[in-house]
Each structure stands twice: as structure tokens, then as C-alpha cells.
Homo-oligomer: A and B are copies of this chain.
Amino acid sequence: MREDADPTAVDGASEAPPARDAEGNLSGAFRDAVEAAIATRDVDRLKALTADLHEADMGDLIEELDGDERRRLIELLGDAFDFTALTELDETVRLGILRGLSPLTIARGMRELDSDDAVYILEDLDEGEMAAVLEHLPAPERVALQRSLDYPEESAGRRMQTEFIAVPPFWTVGRTIDYMRETVDLPETFYEVFVVDPGYRLIGSVSLDRLLRTRRPMLVTQVKADQLKVVKASQDQEDVARMFERYNLVSAPVVDDAGRLVGVMTIDDVVDVIQEEADEDLRALAGVGSDEELSDTVGYTARSRLPWLVVNLGTAFVSASIIGLFEATIEKMVALAVLMPIVASMGGNAGTQTMTVAVRALATRDLSSHNARRIVSREVLVGLLNGVMLATLLGIIAALWFSNLQLGAVISAALVMNMIAAGLFGILIPLAISRLKLDPAVASGVFVTMVTDSVGFFAFLGLATLWFGAR
């Protein structure tokens, strides 16, 4: 919804196929029409097709084009291309496009953007490339971007928008509204007006609905919010997301170490962070790198997934050597080899259930030292309860399968033990890892399955040796 789109283009677009199909996916007909226009270099048609497109839809469109078409689309559209669309792309695709454009073209695109979007696009470039783009920007914008880029990655300083409205404490509501009516260069969207002292130190904030429902002569300091949640520029973006979520915020001021207002964080950036964070936990639990994207190459993907697989190879040898201890028993009774993976696999599943609940509860701070003891005993009891149920079932089937009642008894006992171990270590391992200030999502899985495999094999083969080895 940028205002610089050519209004006459709307008519031309009316004969274009709709951009999205009934299921909300980009429609094939629309993509074909765009590809045809790119191929024939029909700039007018291309502008007509894309004039009404939201940046998010433009992002989806770009991802479906091939590398060469992407570059030509942007070149053909020229000033009509809204660089905000680049924020909607996978990092790999974005970098590919940026490296095909001249620094001058990129700089021209950046000038139209909110500072947070510009920083998001530029931060992945390497230092030389970034300097080349910044060089082509006017000084005030260059300085503002540079200041954001100086904050650490994934900090509020990187995600904040440096465009905001700040007024002095002696202004009235009326004067503030008049100021907004008269000023042309306001931020594109905003949800609050800040009150600052002459040193730009934050005094308070007035939400727009408050401003609208208050009479003009009131001072802004009289209508500012009682409780103000403030973000520090150096704060980690996940902390900020947690704060927005907890207190249902839509926007919050960002201050530097001296308490000076330097920017504003808005909910749309935070939504992305929340999404990313939940995704990171999910991927970490499965041993997939948090930055893996569908557009990554085979080589990159394989390399990034290899480390976890190597670790798993190591832990698999641990459980294999436990089996190795009982070679003699297995040789006497091959049925043990047939049944032993069942005990290990059931424990692995139960352990993963407990671990997943624990990892998420730690991430959302629902699990803390205060209730840890209660949750640990709950998980052990759940393991015991389900262990007894499943062990009965497994024991009967195993006894029938091998016509051996005692084998059924042994596997039942082993399963109960392993299910209890699964409940216990499924929660103790993530708790211990988080005590060490490491991310429990990343490393818990390896250790939990190592424990449940080892306990499973050891309990089953050990009990079998005691029972049958004595005969």
C-alpha cells in the first residue's frame, strides 16, 4: 500500500489475472503473465500487473521466478519496484538479488524504506558491499542506518525503526495534532507519540486513541500512559518479543544506555521474531540448523545437517557397545535381538514427548526452579503409568509370539524401567542443559535418546541374562 504506485495503473491491472488463487497461493496464471511480460520486456504491462501487489505478494512472486527473471523484473520496474518486498524473501534469494544489482540501485531503493526494513536488507551483505551502498545515501539517512547497524545482530537496535514522533512535555494535545497535520515527512505508520525532554530523554508515551479522545487543551504529559514498557537498544530481540507477548504491546520506545529515545519497535517485527523463535526450537529439536532455508543448495544443506548426525553416530555406538556386552546371551536366544529394538524405541518416544514439553516450557518460562520438582515427579509417574499399560500389552504379544511366558515377563519389566528412565531423563536433561545457560532445544535430543537406548538395551538384555543365563 505505498502511495507512490501509479494510480492510472489500476485500470490496466483490472484485466490481469488475480494474483492469488482460492487457497491463498500465488496463482499460476498470474505468474505466467508476469513471466511473459518479463520475456517481452513489456514495462507497462509489468507495472500494470504488479501495481496493486502487496509487498508480501511481490515477495512470493519473486521467489517463484528464476534468478535471471528476478533481476530483470527489478530492473524493468525501476523506481516502481518497492524494495520492501526484499524483506519477505529467504536470505539466500535476497543476497542473490542484491549481488546482481549496482550499489547505486540498491541505495536508491533503500531511500524509500523505513529504517528497520533497510537495516534488515543490508545487514546480510559483507562489509565492503554495505559500505558501497551506504556511500550513495545522503548523510542523515546514512548516519541513522549506521547507528542501527552498529548494534549487535538480533538486538532491538537492529530491529527498531528510527522514524518516530517525539514532542516536548509542555505541548498540548491540540498542538500535537496540529503538528502532525502540518508535517509532511511523518513515519509511514505509527501507534504512539513520545514525550521527551530537551536532551531527548524519554518522559512518556501517548497512544493515538488516547490523543484522539482527549480534549485539545490537555497537556501531553497529563494523558501519557501510567506504565510504560521500555526496550533497551542492546536488548536481545527474543527478550523484546517475550515482553510484547506478555504485555500485549503494539509498539514500544527503544532507548540507548543514557535513556535517550533512539527508535521504536513495532509488533510486525516482533511477530517475525516470535515465529522464528518457535521455529528455531522445532528445528533444534530435530537437529536442523536454525538458518536452513528451502532455497539452500544441496551441499550447504548436507553440510549443515552433518554435525548432528555425526554426534548421533557416536551415541549409537554407545548403545551398540551395550548390546556387545550381551553377545553370548543373544547367541543363545536370538529372539532377544528381534525384540530389543522395541524396548529402546518405546523409551525413545516417551523420552521425546517429555523432553519436548520441557523444552517449550523452559522457553516460555513456564518451567522454573520453583515448580521443577513437581514436574519431574509428574513425568516419572506418567512414565510409570504408561509403562505398566504398554508393558502388559507388549509382554502378552511377545510371550505369544515366541511361545515363551518368561520372555514376556522379562520384556515387560525392562519396558517399565525404560519408561521411567524416559520420564526422568526426558526432563532432567533439558533442565541441566538450561542450568548450564545453554539452549536445551539444541542438545537435549541426543542425550535423551542415548539414555533411553542404553537403558532399554541394558535392562532387557541384562534381565534376560540373569533369568535365562542361570538355567
Contacts and interface: CB of A to CB of B under 8 A. Distances in A.
As for how many copies of this chain the complex holds, the number is: 2
A209 B165 CA distance: 11
Interface string A16-30: 000000001100100
B212 A189 contact: no
A124 interface: no
Given A244-B271, A285-B282, A338-B324, A366 B309 contact: no
Interface stretch (A71-79, A194-202, A346-354, A462-470): A346-354
Contacts of A298: 378, 381-382, 385
B294 A24 contact: no
A282 B341 contact: no
A272 B469 CA distance: 57
A228 B136 CA distance: 36
A331 to B, nearest CB: 5
A261 B389 CA distance: 53
Interface residues of A, number: 114
A248 to B, nearest CB: 4
Contacts of A278: 274-275, 278-279, 282
A213 interface: yes
Contacts of A287: 349, 352-353
Interface in A225-284: 225-227, 239, 242, 244-248, 250, 267-268, 270-272, 274-275, 278-279, 281-283
Chain A at the B interface: SS class: helix
A357 B186 contact: no
B271 A390 contact: no
Interface stretch (A100-108, A137-145, A148-156, A312-320): A312-320
Given A287-B349, A294-B367, A382 B316 contact: no
B309 A386 contact: yes
Nearest to A369: B25
A225 B350 contact: no
Interface stretch (A36-44, A125-133, A299-307): A299-307
A180 interface: yes
Given A52-B227, A334-B330, A337-B330, A209 B191 contact: yes
A177 B227 CA distance: 25
A212 B327 contact: no
A453 interface: yes
A371 interface: yes
A272 B367 CA distance: 19
24 contacts: A1-B227, A25-B365, A181-B215, A186-B209, A248-B271, A270-B271, A274-B274, A274-B275, A274-B278, A278-B279, A281-B282, A282-B285, A282-B360, A283-B360, A286-B352, A288-B357, A302-B386, A306-B389, A313-B346, A319-B345, A320-B338, A323-B341, A330-B330, A334-B337
Nearest 3 A/B pairs, CB to CB: A278-B278, A286-B356, A337-B337
A450 to B, nearest CB: 10
Contacts of A242: 24
Contacts of A442: none
B211 A212 contact: yes
Contacts of A270: 271
Max chain B CB contacts within 10 Å: which of A214, A331, A349, A360? Answer: A349
A438 interface: no
A270 B274 CA distance: 12
Nearest to A3: B226
Contacts of A213: 180-181, 183, 186
Contacts of A386: 302, 305-306, 309
A346 B316 contact: yes
A176 to B, nearest CB: 9
Contact of A341 (B180, B283, B320): B320
A344 interface: yes
Max chain B CB contacts within 10 Å: which of A272, A274, A321? Answer: A274
A310 interface: yes
Contacts of A299: 385
A113 interface: no
Contacts of A246: 54, 56
B339 A334 contact: no
Nearest to A350: B309
Contacts of A327: 334-335, 337-338
A270 B248 CA distance: 10
A406 interface: no
